[in-house]
Structure 1
Amino acid sequence: MEQEFKVYIKSYLEQFPDLSSEELTFISSYLIIEKYGKKEFLFKSGEVQKEVGFVCKGLLRRYYVNEKGNKITTGFINENNYATDYPAFIRQKPSKYFIECLEPSVIIKLPYDKIQEGYRKFKTSERYGRLIAEYVLTVQTDRVESLLFETAEERYLNFIDQNPDLVNRISLTHLATYLGIERQSLSRIRSKIAKK
């Protein structure tokens, strides 16, 4: 098991080729690696996320519960992506979201206070932090704009196109709430596309 974790940490750190050995040592010493079972939560609504999570293995979904008690999926997080409610994480405020494992997952976590310390100590760490923030902002903006400007069918086709590896790993119910439609509507769209 220890060997498996070392491989994950090495792979994670390879994303940051510009970091000095001093920076790599600093980050490595604070990384936490944890295994989660299916249906376990990285965090729940109302909790403050103390560490940013990076998915080495597995699949998670981010969702909130609406006023009718329905779970509305706002994102799927697979390998090599950050599992976080980034705006709440940066402000260290309670999240409005749940992040739940859809599959058994291995997640590397880096504590908020160590990220901030790294920014103060190292210019390169600060740059990587900015790049991650820009990526998160882009993903969130794309999601909002897809709901505003695309039809349900366009949203579905774009999702399939951008996430071919996820389609068989998520339920139609979760996908329908992510697309902002009823499950029956998604079934109609899928059968219409299959007939083309």
Structure 2
Amino acid sequence: MNEIEVFAWCRERLHVLCPGLTSELIDELSLGWRVVRLDKREHLAEAGCIHKEAFLVAEGLVRAYYPDVEGDVTVNFIAEGDFATHYTSLEAPRPSHFAFQALEPTVAIAFSYEYVYQLSQRRCEMERLLRVLLEHEYTRLMAHTECLLMRNAEERYRHFLQNFGPLLSRISVSDLSSYLGVSRQNLTLIRKRLLDE
């Protein structure tokens, strides 16, 4: 995708996310956009730093994780059409516990938190978009948390297949096992058992 195609795609995606957005608001919002191109394993944002931008993924796949002494813990996969961001950074600038890393070559549109905040002070429609994005992320986070708490390892894997199956071939076993809260060996046994059925 060239930059014109990326911006056109972004405008369309914002209309899908929040149909009530006016073209004027998107025009104003686009003044703060920039296209970011990342190689595989390159970071959009590091843990322990203050994140200053949100990234709408246009092409590629990103994982959100937090570093741990026993290894990184993956908490989300962000594919085309979704935002890679730590939403609490919108409230106040503070270091994030999460890092965002491209799992494959990725193209994203970066939105400055400061610019979005200033725009939301002037345009009430911007607040509506932010609310829609926060609701979407809250729903995703709650579903994942409930899955980790209330389902066994095989049920979690089946749930992932049902809801995110197309991403499976794009994700390493290590990242998936971390996301599902199971060991690599256990995940391999679950996958083998399901293939044998």
Q: Give TM-score scaled by structure 2 length.
A: 0.92
Moved more, 129-138 or 17-26: 17-26
The alignment yields a C-alpha RMSD, in angstroms, of: 1.5
Tell me the percent identity: 32
Aligned to 1:162: 163
Aligned to 1:118: 119
Please report how far the alpha carbon of residue 193 of structure 1 lies from its aligned counterpart in structure 2 after TM superposition: 1.1
**Separation in structure 1 between the aligned mates of residue 90 and residue 23 of structure 2, nearest angstrom:** 27
Aligned to 2:176: 175
Does the C-alpha gap of structure 1 residues 194 and 2 become closer, same or farther in structure 2, counting only changes over 3 Å?
A: closer
Q: How does 1:99-110 map to 2 (within 5 A)?
A: 99-110=100-111
Note the alpha carbon deviations across 1:36-94, whole angstroms, 9 max, x for none. 111110011111111111000000111112133x1111111100001011124432211
Unmatched tracts of structure 1, length 5 or more = none
Counterpart of 2:95, as a letter, is P
Moved more, 156-165 or 19-28: 19-28
Aligned to 2:76: 75
Q: Which of the residues 30, 33, 36 maps onto 2:32?
A: 30
1:164 is paired with a residue whose SS is helix
Moved more, 173-182 or 88-97: 88-97
Aligned to 2:138: 137
Unmatched tracts of structure 2, length 5 or more = none
Does the C-alpha gap of structure 1 residues 169 and 194 become closer, same or farther in structure 2, counting only changes over 3 Å?
A: same
Q: Is the CA contact 1:53–1:109 (under 8 Å) kept in the aligned structure 2? A: yes
**Separation in structure 2 between the aligned mates of residue 27 and residue 131 of structure 1, nearest angstrom:** 16
Please report how far the alpha carbon of residue 174 of structure 1 lies from its aligned counterpart in structure 2 after TM superposition: 0.8
Q: Give TM-score scaled by structure 1 length.
A: 0.93
The reply to whether residue 150 of structure 1 matches residue 151 of structure 2 is yes
Aligned to 2:57: 55
Q: How does 1:39-54 map to 2 (within 5 A)?
A: 39-54=41-56
